[in-house]
Structure 1
Amino acid sequence: MKAVVLAAGQGTRLRPLTDDKPKGMVEVAGAPILTRCFDELIELGATELIVVVGYKKQDIIEHYGDEYEGVPITYAHQREQKGLAHALLTVEDHIDDDFMLILGDNIFAANLEDVVQRQQEDRADAAFLVEEVPWDEASRYGVCDTNDYGEIVDVIEKPGDPPSNLVMTGFYTFTPAIFHACHLVQPSNRNEYEISDAVGLLIESGRTIDAIPIDGWRMDIGFPEDRDRAEERLAGTAQPADSE
């Protein structure tokens, strides 16, 4: 599969770490977040890395060039940060088959291969790595509702009153059907084109989306303290309660 990496955001919540660099170039335990994303994707068999850039894009392009570890890199430019569905549409012309999607501000030490395997073996329309988070954190994410078969039947983006604490983690597989859904998405009350709304349209059209429970951990590097926690986990020094 090709792999899409979304890395266009400004990372305002990560300041001052992002005052002079894009979010994906913030180092975690000595390596930029994007490097860790690329390593994961290549281990999963990515044949091409398609990186969506925006804020301080030249820093990313100059650092990685046109390939990483022998895998070609293609860059797509999101001129305005209008949400993940908007970002995904910038790569539409580069995708003609099932693909992986990773948010370029996440660190994973988890079973990503299970998501890819489900997509390849079951030919689902999409598969998402999901996890249960503390209820007071669920409103930071896309919250999922599933049926008895482990299929996602609803996704709500950053709800004020989350209906569950099962959330999308930032790693997905899709078929190209997601692009048609993204074209149909209307701006949310945050004035963004939400990936959760595109997923909702897939579900309404009768397409199947599998939820794969996380085995391991991941960290969304949204705030400076998240970077510190990720470094502790990578070093194996996290407290037990912090790694549940």
Structure 2
Amino acid sequence: MKAVVLAAGKGTRLRPLTDDKPKGMVEVADKPLITHCFDQLIDLGADELIVVVGYMKEVIIDHYGDEYEGVPITYTHQREQKGLAHALLTVEEHIDDDFMLILGDNIFQANLQDVVRRQREDRADAAFLVEEVPWEDASRYGVCDTNQYGEITDVVEKPEDPPSNLVMTGFYTFSPAIFHACHLVQPSNRDEYEISDAIDLLIQSGRTIDAIGLDGWRIDVGYPEDRDEAERRLTGDDDADADGDDSDADAVVESDA
């Protein structure tokens, strides 16, 4: 199964850690975020890594070259950061079967294999991990509802009034049907082409979408303090502090492009 890594973002919320690198190259436990993704995807059986690059793409390409641990790497270029559905369309010509998708700024210690197994056994059109978060945090994510069979029935991106506190994480499997849905997506009120809207189109067309509850933990490394927390969890070092730099607390806070 091929695996797609989305790594085109600027990481403006991670400044100053991203002043000289894209956010996927920010190190956690002495390895770039993308390397953590690669290691997990290869453990899950990935036979090709397709990396969507954009901001400072040369840093990523020069670092990894055309393979990692013997697995070939293909790069696609998202010239403008217009959302995850927009990024996903850059890989369409390289995909002809079910595939994995991971957001390149997420760290997982969780049951990713359950998602891959569900895709292979049930031939779902999409499957992904979901987790319950505090209600006050739900509006930061793609929020979803499920039926009694664990199938997603509704998805809405970063709603002001979340219908639930069940949110999508950054790991998915899809059939190629997702590309048709991405082509149909219209810009959101953030002027982005949202992956949640593409998934919702699949739902409305009667496709099978499965939700698997998170067993373990994951961290979306969006801010310097998230990197510090991921470092602590991976190393077991409660005193770990990114680069020992107290200035992280004063990092510029912006929306990623």
Question: For this structure pair, what is the TM-score category when the shorter chain's length is used for normalisation?
Answer: over 0.9
Write the deviation string for residues 74-132 of structure 1: whole angstroms up to 9, x where unpaired.
00000000000000000000000000000000000000000000000011111011111
Unaligned runs of 5+ in 2: 239-257
SS of 2:81's equivalent in the other structure is coil
**1:208 matched residue in structure 2:** 208
Per the alignment, in what secondary structure is the counterpart of residue 38 of structure 1?
A: helix
Normalising to structure 2: TM-score of the pair?
Answer: 0.92
Is 1:182 the counterpart of 2:182? The answer is: yes
In structure 2, C-alpha distance between the alignment counterparts of 1:2 and 1:182, rounded to whole Å = 19
Give the structure 1 partner of residue 129 of structure 2: 129
1:137, CA displacement in angstroms? Answer: 1.3
Q: Deviations over 1:167-205 (max 9, x none)?
A: 111100000000000000000000000000000100000
What residue identity is the alignment partner of 2:229? R
Letter in 2 for 1:37: C
Residue in structure 2 matched with residue 25 of structure 1 by the alignment? 25
2:110 is the counterpart of 1:110: yes
SS of equivalent residue, structure 2 residue 51: strand
Counterpart-to-counterpart distance in 1, 2:148 and 2:154: 13
In structure 2, distance between residues paired with 1:71 and 1:164: 39
1:78 matched to 2:75: no
Distance across 2 between alignment mates of 1:10 and 1:196? 21
Could you say what secondary structure the match of 1:197 adopts? helix
Give the corresponding residue for 1:195.
195
Aligned counterpart, 2:15: 15
TM-score by length of 1: 0.96
Match of 1:94 in 2: 94
Secondary structure of 2:50's match? Answer: strand
Matched, 1:42 2:35: no
Q: Distance in 2 between matches of 1:79 and 1:100?
A: 22
Q: Structure 1 segments of 4 or more deviating over 4 A?
A: none
Q: Percent identity?
A: 83
CA distance in 2, matches of 1:13, 1:155: 25
The separation in 2 between residues aligned to 1:186 and 1:151, in whole angstroms, is: 24
Number of equivalent positions: 239
1:124 maps to amino acid: A
For 2:139 and 2:20, the matched residues in 1 are separated by 29
Aligned to 2:235: 235
Who is 1:60 aligned against? 60
Task: State the alpha-carbon separation in 2 of the partners of residues 154 and 59 from structure 1.
Answer: 38
Q: Which amino acid aligns with 2:139?
A: S
How far 1:237 moved relative to its partner?
4.6
Report the RMSD for the aligned CA atoms in angstroms: 1.0
AA aligned to 2:153 is V
Provide the rounded CA distance (Å) in 1 between the counterparts of 2:9 and 2:234. 24
Q: Which residue of 2 aligns with 1:242?
A: none
Query: What code does the residue aligned with 2:77 have?
Result: H
1:131-170 to structure 2, matched below 5 A, reads 131-170=131-170
Structure 1 unaligned blocks of 5 or more: 239-244
| 1:202 partner amino acid | L
Q: CA deviation at 1:64?
A: 0.2
